[in-house]
Amino acid sequence: MIPKEFDAITKEDVDALVLNEIPEGRTIEFKEQLPGGIDDDKREFLADASSFANAGGGDLIYGVREKRHASGKTTGILEAAEGLAAINSDAEKRRLDEILRNGTDPRIPGIRSKHIDGFASGPVIVLRVPKSWASPHMVTFKNWSRFFSRTSAGKYQLDVREIRAGFLASESLARQISAFRSDRVAKAFAGDVPFSVEACPKLILHLLPVSAFGEPTVVDLKVAQLLEAREFEPMGRPHSYGPDFNFDGYAVSAARGNPAVCYGYVQLFRNGALEAVWTGFTREKALLIGPVERELLLGVPRYLKLLQKLDLDRLCSQASLWLG
């Protein structure tokens, strides 16, 4: 996978893959052409995409050419990035979306594509497939049903034992996410939270990356500390707010009044989960959707951007909201 926030990928990043002779592997695969219209090409595309979703996620890069052995077999190492000639980018995006929509079960959520211009023959297309919380995904194409995953050597077909383990892991992930949310909500209402907040109705938002509950992940809190303070701003347009390291990770609290009273905070856990709590409305206002809707519309995009900068956006699986 290109080690960069997806929206920030540029031509220079693709050129760097060629210059540094980055090989194909568990999280990246190179293709000279887009999938064609024949059934074999569609099956190959579905197998590639689902293998990333069932493993750790990754990038499919179209419009690049690999080096070849004397026998003509590809080496998995890039030789050039020339782009795709004579394509309609929008039409191809719709075509690939349709193939994925009709050819996987369940559908793979969160796939994004990016068309990068500036190459000799046309654009390079990067398709980023996130690790899926709904895995394992099966390829279902014209009575052809298969499960795929990936190793450093590329994709491979899962056997019965691995398929069973995949379903069990998916169920375990859902239970872990549910248990985390229930525990955090209970602690919020019991006052067992990073800051002593006002005892009134609470709006509690959770953004939970798959990585926080699947494979072990530890967020670099120093990187979080260097991000813009605006992205950590608690809900409620606070008069003042400030950061603090704590046992769970990195948190920012919001205060108002004199003496200052904490009425909300944002907690980034060490595993990448994010919790935002706001108590800045009266019990009467809690009955109205307006204040809640406003804070969510302002806060959620801000916190998603924060996760993007920490390279957690591709794994973001669920958000929960509690009000009471």
Q: Report the alpha-carbon angle 195-308-22, nearest 5.
A: 140
Domain identity same for 181 and 134: no
Q: Which domain holds residue 189?
A: 169-323
Q: Are 151 and 179 found together in one domain?
A: no
Domain's final residue, options 132, 158, 184: 158
Do 131 and 181 belong to one domain?
no
Q: What is the pLDDT of residue 316?
A: 46
Helix (H, G, I), strand (E, B) or coil at 277: strand
Residues 186 and 153 in one domain: no
- Per the domain annotation, does 195 fall within a domain? yes
The answer to the question of residue 264 being in a domain is yes
Per the domain annotation, does 1 fall within a domain? no
112 located within any domain: yes
Measured CA to CA, the distance from residue 281 to residue 198 in angstroms comes to 10
* Pairwise CA distance, residues 75 & 41, whole Å: 20
Q: Decide if 9 contacts 116 (C-beta within 8 A).
A: yes
* Rounded (10°) CA dihedral 99, 94, 152, 107: -50
Side-chain-side CA neighbours of residue 229 (13 Å): 10
Structure confidence at residue 215 (pLDDT): 64
3-state class of 104 per DSSP? Answer: strand
Task: Give the 3-state secondary structure of residue 301.
Answer: helix
Instruction: Specify whether 141 is located in the same domain as 218.
Output: no
Q: Could you tell me which residues are beta bridge partners of residue 253?
A: 242, 265
What local confidence, expressed as pLDDT, does residue 258 receive? 57
pLDDT one-digit tens code per residue, 162-203: 998 888 887 787 788 888 888 988 888 888 888 877 777 788
Calculate the alpha carbon distances from 109 to 131, 181, 225 in Å: 9, 21, 30
18 domain residue, yes or no: yes
What 3-state class would DSSP assign to 103? helix
Same domain, 80 and 190: no
pLDDT confidence bin for 149, thresholds 50/70/90: very high
Same domain, 109 and 151: yes
**What's the whole-model pTM score?**
0.71
132 by Cβ neighbours in 10 Å (0-12 / 13-18 / 19+) ranks as: buried
Transcribe 168-234 into DSSP letters: HHHHHHHHHHHHHHHHHHHHHHHT-SSS---SS--EEEEEEEGGGTSS-----HHHHHHS-GGGGPP
Which tokens sit at 148? 């795929």
State whether 314 and 251 are in the same domain. yes
Domain end point (choices 100, 127, 158): 158
Residues 78 and 181 in one domain: no
Does residue 56 share a domain with residue 28?
A: yes
CATH label of the domain that carries residue 117: 3.30.950.30
Contact status, residue 112 vs residue 104, Cβ threshold 8 Å? no
Residue 50 placed within a domain: yes
Most confident of 45-49, 67-71, 210-214: 45-49
- One domain, residues 153 and 208: no
Given 138, 158, 178, the domain boundary residue is 158
At 169, list the tokens.
């892991």
What CA–CA distance (Å, rounded) separates 223 from 229? Answer: 12
Mean pLDDT of 94-121: 92
Q: In total, how many domains does the chain have?
A: 2
Indicate the residue type of 87. I
163 inside domain: no
179 and 318, same structural domain? yes
Percentage of the chain surpassing pLDDT 90? 34
Q: Is residue 45 part of a domain?
A: yes
